[in-house]
């Protein structure tokens, strides 16, 4: 009699522990996926931005459609190496919309920053649409149901 | 019972690790095609800089001097080198797997309009020649 009561108690305890573990997992997993998604998007943008910088610094033009948004900006540089690099990346998230601001830096103040910034921005949007699983829909990038806005700024 | 519990924890941990790994793998594969393009960019860029440098050297040494150049190995691609005398620019145009890569460089010495078409690792020459009618020294490319 005592034996079976003990058993029932152990089973009850185990259920309790198991439920705590399961609730813990249920809490951890969605936030983990959310974090993982944000990290993925940011690393895509970062990789793409540094590719744009490498392309502009290299000075070699190509007819590869991935790089076509950068070609006109590269031609206006007229053989000058702009020494661009990614200074920092800022992200902000409001109601399912992630805004990623990429800040590039160049030692030359004579470079037309506006043209360069918009060219790099167009490149990143196209590149992410073509090579990653972000999808361009009505001019906005989407990763699942998250809208991704990209802004590029060049600081002299 | 205790063992079963441990494996449940482990299973979820493994799931999270797999999610992360899949992401990293995906990112890496998308990088590969870009890396291949950049391999060509670098070779074309380096080749164009070499041409600018060597044409200046050939000009400095003077008439009749030749330098042997070797086209870079572009995985079966072809290269066209153009010396444009009108604008004094050196244009390198490479075609690899149907994609075109080109760079325009300013030359520091006077060029005579000339061009060569090359396959990977093919030899050609940069020559200084004296134009007797103009009385000017020019640099040109020839095979």
pLDDT, tens only, B33-81: 788 888 889 999 999 999 999 999 999 998 888 899 999 888 888 999 9
Which residues does A114 contact at the CB level (< 8 Å), separation at least 6? Answer: none
Q: List, for residues A3-16, the tens digit of each pLDDT value.
A: 667 777 788 888 99
Distance from CA of B65 to the nearest CA of A (A): 28
Q: How many domains does chain B have?
A: 1
Q: What part of B 68-107 touches A (C-beta under 8 Å)?
A: 99-106
Instruction: Kindly list the residues from chain A whose CB atom is less than 8 angstroms away from the CB atom of residue B45.
Output: 58-60
Cβ atoms of B48 and A64 closer than 8 Å: no
ipTM: 0.74
Return the pLDDT at A3.
65
- The range of the structural domain enclosing residue B55 comes to 2-142
**Calpha distance A35→A151 (Å, rounded):** 21
Nearest 5°: phi and psi at B63?
Answer: -60, 140
Chain B nearest-CA residue for A80: B105
Any A CB within 8 A of B134 CB = no
Top residue of B34, B91, B97, B104 to mutate, by most chain A CBs within 10 Å, is: B34
- DSSP, collapsed to helix, strand or coil, labels residue A154 as strand
Cβ atoms of A53 and A121 closer than 8 Å: no
**Calpha distance A97→A146 (Å, rounded):** 6
Question: pTM of whole model > 0.80?
Answer: no
Q: Confidence class of residue B2 from pLDDT cuts 50, 70 and 90?
A: low
């Amino acid at each position: 009699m005592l034996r079976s009561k003990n058993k029932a108690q152990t089973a009850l305890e185990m259920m309790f522990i198991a439920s705590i573990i399961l609730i813990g997992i249920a809490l951890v997993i969605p936030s983990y996926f959310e974090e993982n998604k944000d990290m993925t998007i940011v690393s895509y943008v970062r990789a793409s931005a540094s590719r744009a910088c490498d392309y502009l610094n290299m000075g070699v033009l190509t007819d590869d459609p991935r790089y076509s948004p950068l070609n006109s900006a590269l031609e206006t540089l007229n053989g000058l190496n702009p020494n661009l690099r990614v200074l920092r990346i800022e992200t902000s998230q409001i109601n399912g919309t992630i805004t990623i601001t990429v800040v590039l830096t160049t030692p030359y103040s004579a470079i037309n920053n506006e043209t360069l910034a918009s060219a790099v921005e167009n490149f990143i949007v196209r590149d992410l649409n073509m090579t990653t699983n972000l999808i361009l829909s009505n001019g906005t990038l989407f990763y699942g149901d998250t809208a991704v806005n990209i802004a590029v700024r060049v600081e002299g | 019972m205790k063992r079963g519990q441990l494996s449940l924890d482990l299973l979820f941990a493994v799931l999270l690790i797999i999610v992360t790994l899949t992401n990293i793998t995906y990112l890496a594969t998308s990088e590969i095609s870009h890396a291949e393009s950049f391999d060509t960019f670098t070779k074309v860029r380096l080749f164009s800089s070499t041409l600018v440098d060597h044409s200046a050297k050939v000009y400095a040494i003077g008439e009749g001097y030749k330098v042997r150049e070797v086209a870079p190995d572009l995985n079966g691609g072809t290269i066209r080198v153009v010396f444009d005398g009108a604008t004094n620019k050196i244009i390198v145009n490479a075609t690899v797997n149907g994609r075109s890569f080109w760079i325009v460089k300013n030359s520091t010495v006077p060029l005579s309009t000339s061009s060569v078409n090359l396959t990977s690792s093919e030899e050609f020459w940069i020559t200084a020649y004296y134009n007797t009618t103009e009385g000017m020294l020019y640099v040109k490319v020839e095979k």
